Chain A
Amino acid sequence: MHSSSVKSFFEFIRKAWPLLPATLYLTGFQIIVFVYLLGLSLSDPAAGVEFPSIQPFLNLFADSRFQSALLNTLLFTVVGTPLELLAGLLLAFMLYQSFTMRGVVRSIFLIPLAIPALVTAMLLYILFDFPGGHINHLLAGNYWSLPAIISEPINWRGSQFFSMGISLMGKIWRDMPISMLILLTGLNSIDPELFDAAKTMGASLFKRIFAIVIPLIIPSISAVVLLRSVEMWKEFIFPFVLAGRYNLLGTLIDFFYNELGNSNRAAAVAIVMVICIVVTTLVLLKVMELLQRVLLRRG
């Protein structure tokens, strides 16, 4: 028994050895990531806390910088995920029609994907400059006969609300084609005869969208909501460039690690981020399942 399993193992290796380098590479790094994350986050040499101890996490939770970053990221996710879904839905519904320029418009809608996130962030950095900058000039009514909305230029990056908002704007702009593509795949799988039937029976456009389209593309919507919420939790580059003074969890990791040189606390934040992602994913899976059941029953 034993020798035969050893033999089959060697047989497997003899046949599948080209798999080994990649597998070892990926597994090796995964082990390194887990070992170092746990080792670093459960100890704090600077505070005399030895491995393993939960104390570093208690200290982290008491840190006001962490509290505000956690709250910011939560808001970022709660506000950003539905907006990403909405943007994707709008674009996908527009492309769902047949019209002459459809192919061209679809390619145009994909443009943001080809612009690196850092470049998008840098452009917003330039546009929302203070006190000059296009947006301040625009809102001050300096162009054509546009009305003046603000009397004083706004210091966008100096304000928590605006710097978070601009980061979110960039994030949504950059990623909306992904949501659009996923939703479009869902839309294209709907049988068009359903529309005709509903229309003959006198259902309004509103009713057709909410009673037929949305329930049928719930799988695509779930995929978008899940993927986007994870993206929101781990966002780094937009707040890094645009919201220097106000941290999300991602930029807090950078702050603890590169500014304070505290790898233990940075690792603890990373662990919290991963836990937030796992919890959000589990909750959203349940919610989406419920939603589909409710919508289908009503339809």
Chain B
Amino acid sequence: MISATPKRIPMTSGKKVIWTTGIILAVLIVTVPVYLLVKYSISDIKSINTGGKPIPWWPFEPTMQAFLYLFRDHHFYQVLLNSVIVAFSTVVLSLILGVPAAYILGRYKIPGRKLLLLGIISVRLFPDIASVIPVVEFFIHIGAHQTYWGVILAHTLLALPYVIFIGIGAFESIPADLEQQAWVMGAGTGQTFFRILLPLATPGLAAAAIYTFLLSWDEFIFAYFLMLGNQEIFTLTLYLNGIKYAEPQNLLAAISVCLSVPVIIFSLMVQRYMIAGISTGSVK
């Protein structure tokens, strides 16, 4: 979609200079903040508390201190573990609920399909910060407040529409012939689903799973409202927010880097999986 051949608007040399300057400026605006984040995470404390001297653009004595401190801290491991528990459970629950729905919506023409899709999207249009109060109040009612389960259920609510939509795409791309041939050869609906459709839809569903993991990993609003008051189950985002007034900046930056690295890596992976999903669909 975005890789379509760009068109050339002919430019005079004066305009070319303006345009090149613009590109360089834009690249700097995007990259400098990321550089600064990394810079802070490897800063020694003298490069932060400079005693009035200007803060250096490159640390005086670059150090991995902040990261080493984090990875020696038992509490930080607990926080990482919490994030993984919540994100992983959200993935499992979202797939269990979402994949069967995506299978039906992607392979069958059922009455009211459009309306159903509209309803599924509309869940995401409602502001999180507005729906969080009812959800928390309800969870207080059923005792899921300040528990892993509450956060997992809430994150599943956020992720499910995406899983269904990516899943529909994955199932739709499988040729109908394949399914019919399986039926002709005597395979039942269940057998066809598990042995033929599910394996073929796996690249797309993997993308959905990764997307869900990331959504839960860096989600803040529901995690914050649902976990506030129970530090034991704090996820990475909450931990980072909780220490922003107290801890030195290199530690804040180091935690920020830990939070971002999986997102950056997995975002790249999702792209690749999606391309793989599209190309296998066209080859077979």
Contact = CB atoms under 8 A, between A and B. Distances in A.
- Are A and B a genuine interacting pair, yes or no? yes
Interface string B103-119: 11100101100001001
B170 interface: no
Given A22-B97, A143-B54, A236-B221, A263 B31 contact: no
B171 to A, nearest CB: 11
B220 A117 contact: yes
B30 A36 contact: no
Contacts of B7: 96, 98, 190, 192, 195
Contact of B263 (A27, A33, A116): A116
Nearest to B99: A18
| Residue among A185, A192, A270 having the largest count of chain B Cβ atoms under 10 Å | A270
A237 B244 CA distance: 14
A260 to B, nearest CB: 13
A160 interface: no
Contacts of B138: 32, 36
Interface in B104-162: 104-105, 108, 110-111, 116, 119-120, 123, 125-138, 156-157, 160-161
B68 interface: no
Interface in A163-215: 173, 181, 184-185, 188, 190, 192, 195, 199, 205
Contacts of A234: 127-130
Interface string B9-39: 1110001000100110011011101101100
A112 B253 CA distance: 16
B2 A96 contact: no
Given A98-B7, A133-B55, A26 B120 contact: yes
B116 to A, nearest CB: 7
Interface stretch (A50-58, A74-82, A122-130): A122-130
B119 A36 contact: no
B157 A29 contact: yes
Contacts of B221: 236-237
B4 interface: yes
Interface string B157-192: 100110010000000000000000000000000000
Nearest to B134: A36
Contact of A129 (B101, B220, B249): B249
Given A16-B108, A134-B55, A188-B4, A274 B256 contact: no
A89 B31 CA distance: 19
A123 B33 contact: yes
A30 interface: yes
A108 B31 contact: yes
Contacts of A96: 6-7, 9
B62 interface: no
A184 to B, nearest CB: 5
Contacts of A26: 119-120, 123, 157, 160-161
Contacts of A109: 26-27, 30
Contacts of B111: 12
Interface string A259-276: 000010011001101100
B160 A25 contact: yes
A160 to B, nearest CB: 20
Interface in A68-117: 90-91, 94-98, 102-103, 105-106, 108-109, 111-117
B134 A97 contact: no
A277 interface: yes
Contacts of B5: 98
Contacts of A291: none
A12 B253 CA distance: 54
Nearest to A250: B129
B206 interface: no
Interface string B37-53: 10010000000011000
B218 A118 contact: yes
B156 A91 contact: no
A274 B130 contact: yes
A114 B210 CA distance: 13
A292 interface: no
6 A-B pairs closest in CB distance: A18-B100, A36-B134, A234-B127, A116-B218, A142-B54, A270-B130
Given A30-B123, A126-B252, A132-B55, 11 more contacts: A15-B110, A16-B104, A22-B101, A29-B131, A116-B260, A117-B218, A143-B54, A192-B7, A253-B132, A270-B127, A271-B130
20 contacts: A19-B110, A21-B96, A26-B160, A40-B133, A94-B26, A97-B8, A111-B31, A114-B260, A114-B264, A115-B263, A115-B264, A116-B237, A118-B259, A119-B256, A123-B253, A127-B33, A132-B49, A185-B1, A199-B10, A274-B130
Interface of B: 1-11, 15, 19, 22-23, 26-27, 29-31, 33-34, 36-37, 40, 49-50, 54-55, 57, 96-98, 100-101, 103-105, 108, 110-111, 116, 119-120, 123, 125-138, 156-157, 160-161, 164, 218, 220-221, 224-225, 228, 237, 240-241, 244, 249, 252-253, 256, 259-260, 263-264, 267
Interface of A: 12, 15-16, 18-19, 21-23, 25-27, 29-30, 32-37, 40, 90-91, 94-98, 102-103, 105-106, 108-109, 111-120, 122-123, 125-127, 129, 132-134, 137, 142-143, 173, 181, 184-185, 188, 190, 192, 195, 199, 205, 230, 233-234, 236-237, 241, 250, 253-254, 257-258, 263, 266-267, 270-271, 273-274, 277
